[in-house]
Amino acid sequence: MRSAGAGAKKAMRAGVVAAACGLLATTLAACGAGDQDGGGRSGTAADGAADSSRGDAARTTDLKRIPDVGDRYQKRIPANAEQVVAVYGAGKDSADSTIALFTKTGDTWKKERSWSGHNGKKGWTTDHHEGDKRSPVGVFTLSDAGGVLSDPGAKLPYTQSGAFQAPHYWAKSHWHDFDYVVAIDYNRVKGTSPSDPTRPEGQTKGGSIWLHMDHGSGTSACVSQSKSDMEYLLRTLDPDRHPVVVMGDKAELKG
């Protein structure tokens, strides 16, 4: 149950969004929809793939570690993390990825679901910089969520605001990218709205890396998936279970 101060905290977070409105266009462009390279209607391609992968055949039990993640990144998963969103990029220079959610009970991981998505337009990098159009490889905590749409029942702190709306001078296929977002804690301040532009490591290291809704093609650096998959994550990711994302191209993650 949320504390009695939850309403006050939501109001405070909404204030942060309002204060950041002047910088939000930059934040949104950094996140991923600035690449107006077309693509299908948001989420439609991913929906079909997700539906085909959610049956019993997609569920794996009795895992002692996250599959296809080598020691380098396995060791970076915090000991208290009980939820892992794994993003397996198809290749270093590919914008296509497979996303899966794993949950932990005791010392055993279980694969709950998997679905298709997209990452940076030019693929992946272990040294992300602003504008390189590659998603950063690594293990990052997931602390805050938000979007244009009202809270769908998120367990993470959720900031709803029209300020997330993608500008309508962007391609129409991108207009709903930020209806739902989960901030990836790369070069940002935890406990703030995803739209907070603060970048502790400096502007050149990039930022505003989010999980958000898919527009059918690669992003500037974010990870995208269908609306139904975003709703699933928002309703499932629980701060009490210390969720993280493990993300990168398959070869790098295995290494």
Q: Does residue 153 sit within a domain?
A: yes
Give me the pLDDT at residue 26, please. Answer: 55
Instruction: Read off the pTM.
Output: 0.82
In a 10 Å sphere around its CB, with 0-12 CB exposed, 13-18 middle and 19+ buried, how is residue 222 labelled? buried
Q: What is the mean pLDDT of the chain?
A: 84
C-alpha separations of 139 from 39, 78, 178 in Å: 28, 9, 22
Q: Does residue 35 sit within a domain?
A: no
Return the axis-axis angle of helices 227-236 and 44-52, rounded to nearest 10°: 60
pLDDT in tens, 106-138: 999 999 999 999 999 999 999 999 999 999 999
Give me the pLDDT at residue 105, please. Answer: 94
Q: Does residue 92 sit within a domain?
A: yes
Check: CB of residue 142 under 8 Å from CB of residue 236. Answer: no
Q: Does residue 24 sit within a domain?
A: no
Give me the pLDDT at residue 4, please. Answer: 43
Query: Sorting pLDDT into bands at 50, 70 and 90, what band is 25?
Result: low
Q: Which of 66, 136, 123, 134 is nearest to 97 (CA)?
A: 123
DSSP tag of 162: G
DSSP tag of 219: B
Give me the pLDDT at residue 28, please. Answer: 66
Helices (H) and strands (E) in the chain, counts: 5, 12
Question: 158 is written with which tokens?
Answer: 């959720």
Q: Does residue 120 sit within a domain?
A: yes
Q: Does residue 17 sit within a domain?
A: no
213's CB contacts (< 8 A; 6+ apart) are 42, 43, 176, 177, 178, 179, 180, 181, 224, 225, 226, 227, 230
Q: Does residue 34 sit within a domain?
A: no
Q: Does residue 58 sit within a domain?
A: yes
How many domains does the chain divide into?
Answer: 1
Range of the domain at 249: 51-254
Q: Which of 173, 206, 214, 226 is nearest to 47 (CA)?
A: 226
Give me the pLDDT at residue 132, please. Answer: 97
Question: 164 is written with which tokens?
Answer: 């997330």
What is the CATH number for 203?
2.40.440.10
